[in-house]
Chains A and B, each alone.
Chain A
Amino acid sequence: MKRLAFAIACGSCLACITLAPTDVRDASRVDLERAVAVPDAPRAPVPAPVPQVAAAVPLPSRPLKAPPPLFTVLQPVAGKPIVSFRLVFHTGAVDDPKGKEGLTALTADLMAQGGTRALSSSQLLDALFPMAAELSATTDKEFTVFEGRVHRDRLDAFLKIFTDVLLEPRFDPKELDRLRTDAVNAIVNQLRGQDDESLGKVALDALLYEGHPYAHFNGGTVEGLKAVTLDDVKAHWKTVFTQDRLVVGLAGAVDAALEKRLKDRLAALPATGAPAVKLPPAPGVHGKAWVIERDTLSAAESMGASFTLRRDDPDYYAVAFAASYLGEHRQFHGVLFTELREKRGLNYGDYAYAEHFHQDGWSSLPALNVGRSQQDFSIWIRPVEPQNALFAARGAVYFLNALTSKPAPNDRFEIARGFLIGYTRVWEQTDQRRLGYAIDEAFYGTPGFLDGYRKALAELTPEAMLAAVKRHLSSDGLNFVFVAKDAQALAKVLSNQAPSPIAYPSPKPAEVLAEDKAIATQALPVSPGAVEVKAARDFMER
């Protein structure tokens, strides 16, 4: 698409895979079931009791499904002129060797951008440019996606290039240097230096999964990237980009003949390579807080907890809907958005997520093929004025407590339900997105995922939602990350939990002010000894 210059500002063939056994989820429900009293009436601003946080309880890992080698999703669309390729390898940052964090993403980048045996990186650009063909690779914790789009006029030329990228990458040492430097800069300059919100989200991952293969940034660490050699890349390519890890997606102007051509070529990939990484239990921490110190105008906040809930759990739809009710990503009617932004003007937006939150550029749609064996719940508070940092965190906890303690009011429940039944259809409008959902279904074992979601929503009641939420969520399980300038001061108030009243420049309704008094002293589930100040300049160094 021609880029718009905005000054500112957004029939698959499925594997027959049964749902995973449900008993596993009960083994590790930690203390996420504690009921938390919600203050119903205004109170005097007295210091909140400092909570005693229970010890972490590890959450066992449960591997995702392994579809058969070269399992294929074929979705022809009559009359459509565009061909979409979506090749999803079950490999990601978890496959990075210790001390070489970033190897998988760097290998994928070198494949997608570094040229092929026939074409240098420069010639690759020359070939793709006139067709406006799209070819990219993205790496997440457990998956790497090679995405291609081309007009059918140019299919033959593109198919050769797209498969050469996978089968005959050039592995030019000069390109490795270039892409490695870019990857280091993405940490040193972009993540640490110019994106407080991403820094907060990546730091929350690091906090929740300390010592676990999920802990490091998908793009790697500075020292890990610097340790990678060209031989490492070549060896990694052969061992993780293999047939047994690959699901093939084709949509648009496609047919069985194209599927055969593609798969005939992909048969040249190694049949198998390294065994799948056996993930250790997630640490299951709660009650911890990191304050990342950075010279910034405002305070960015993320909070969350790892949990055992996944799409293949019978409670998933109810809890996912509860998160949407609390704060659907970048939408206007969630509880957090309404209460914190609309009524109080705290910031630009406030949202909640029942799966690991993965922002896909400016899109408001959920990212695809970023599945995880181990999931987490999180809340994203967009930057607030520094003096309101604690109040905003307390507000999030206060409204989460309301969600977990009493049935949602019928009127708000119906708004959220009606919205999501319609909005989920917007999630599956493009070929790439439909492929993405079908491929996720294969790995989670959840055929007909979105239809199932809409059906479950139609039958859900506020009481059933509350029951499911109580089985999986509690503010007691939360951990917190703040990115702020005066980190020491924020750490201090987090530890002593002094009241944090808020002042407004305009009149507020009495009911808002009354609720503010309760929020100002809302206990945060953070223990004084679990608050750490960290410097942004050291983040993801090793």
Chain B
Amino acid sequence: MYTKEQLESIKRVEATREERLKAVLAGNHPRRMTAEEKEQVLLENHPDHIKSQFAELKIGPNKGEKVPIELAETLQANPRINPADIDLTKIDYDVDVLVIGGGGAGSAAAIMANENGANVMIVTKLRHGDANTMMAEGGIQAADKPNDSPAQHYLDVMGGGHFKNVPELVYKLVNDAPICIKWLNDLGVMFDKEADGTMVTTHGGGTSRKRMHACKDYSGAEIMRVLRDEVQNRQIPVVDFTSAIEIIKDENGKAAGAVLMNMETKEILIARAKTVIIATGGAGRMHYQGFPTSNHYGATADGLVLAYRAGAPLLYAYTLQYHPTGAAYPSQIFGALVTEKVRSIGAQLINCDGEAFMYPLETRDVCASTVIRECRKGKGIDTFNGGQGVWLDSPMIDMIHGEGTIEKRIPAMMRMYLKYGIDMRKQPILIYPTLHYQNGGIKISDNGMSEVENLFVAGEAVGGIHGENRLMGNSLLDIIVFGRNAGINAAAVAKNTTVSDKLNLDHVESFKKEMADAGIKTDKVSPKLLPRYTHGNPVFDEPKAKFMK
């Protein structure tokens, strides 16, 4: 239900709609920005460029580099355990490949490790499948149509990432994309298809070809539930409600397992493995710069902490993706994702004057920055929960493609808003950028291994694939491409690795020493594992200082 003021503003959106619609139907979209205009709007408005929100790392492989304040704090926080207290001779789980994380990347990795003959186990801190993968709505990119090519996809990815992407990783991403779509299709993922089998594909922000494949707006959920089912069919063990809190190494400094903690009983367990795959996902629940997030409850950058302490460098950890269209209203869904597909299939971004102020499918960073600028200019709409937003003119979709399109193509979005008395078929929705994706992460080579031997990484925890900005539909793609890749290679390396009986946590001890030497004193512990929310009600077991201001 909108407020009286918002309903007034909607009238101004409606007043210009017919004219805007006519223009779009005649092929006249709002103008795309020039390269210079994009650069300027990013520099002046994108959160990645707000210097006061970054801190320099004082220790570890990326010492001297700047990362978001909250990330610096968690990377340089105290370990949850004292290594001396941990008995590494009492092995609870002994496997070839240990996968940390039960989302899309972890599941794809486990399936391929199993396929390649490895004894593989998944450990995950919530339920299997509780992950950002489940929430990805829009789709998955692959250049599989005649007017498209992996090279064209490569160009879009590089440009979207501001040419900072690691070329070898982008090569793998675009080259394996059609192969991965076929793999998913053969596992029984229900892609949207025409009657003759042609994939229904659309544009995403920054794409030059329509290569976004989708499963309605449950794309990630459909992929995740099929992968989870396949893991279960293969009877791959999944230890759920158990987090990994440190990597364990062998006498040669290679990754050789992990210290685990039962999330409910806090019992410590030891997993020994020949190779380890970190597939722990992103960091939205760190709420960088106070942004709301579209992410899953468990997205707390755990993998980055584990890897960093083990000595693996990060790449581009300073860059985050703020999705341009988070729900700005009502407050119950503040920060929830409004899929880019809403713009892909025709909705425009409209300011308080009823003006379409930008081409709606610029890349996400440009789009988010322009929305922020519009609100700063006073062209936003009050959300009555302390913020601003702009209109996303969703009724245009059915007007362009025919009645029933919203219901058929974006049913999840429609359902989300209907719950709060807003029918997006009839009324526009209010949006503002939301913290969505960790562009940076752990540095890997194209075999999926980090700079710590036998420590592999897949999915959102990886840095470098997407440069400084990921395109829509390349995350579902990357978890499958690099999840499979890590699973295959971790299984192969495991075959030539002998089990160590000299497990150690020496790197944790030296990290603590490095902290002390650098004069870092903190009461924070990491990995964070879960955020703590109180919705305004104070909780008194937190550090006192917070409530004594």
Partners in one complex: no
Residue numbers of A with Cβ under 8 A of B are none
Residue numbers of B with Cβ under 8 A of A are none
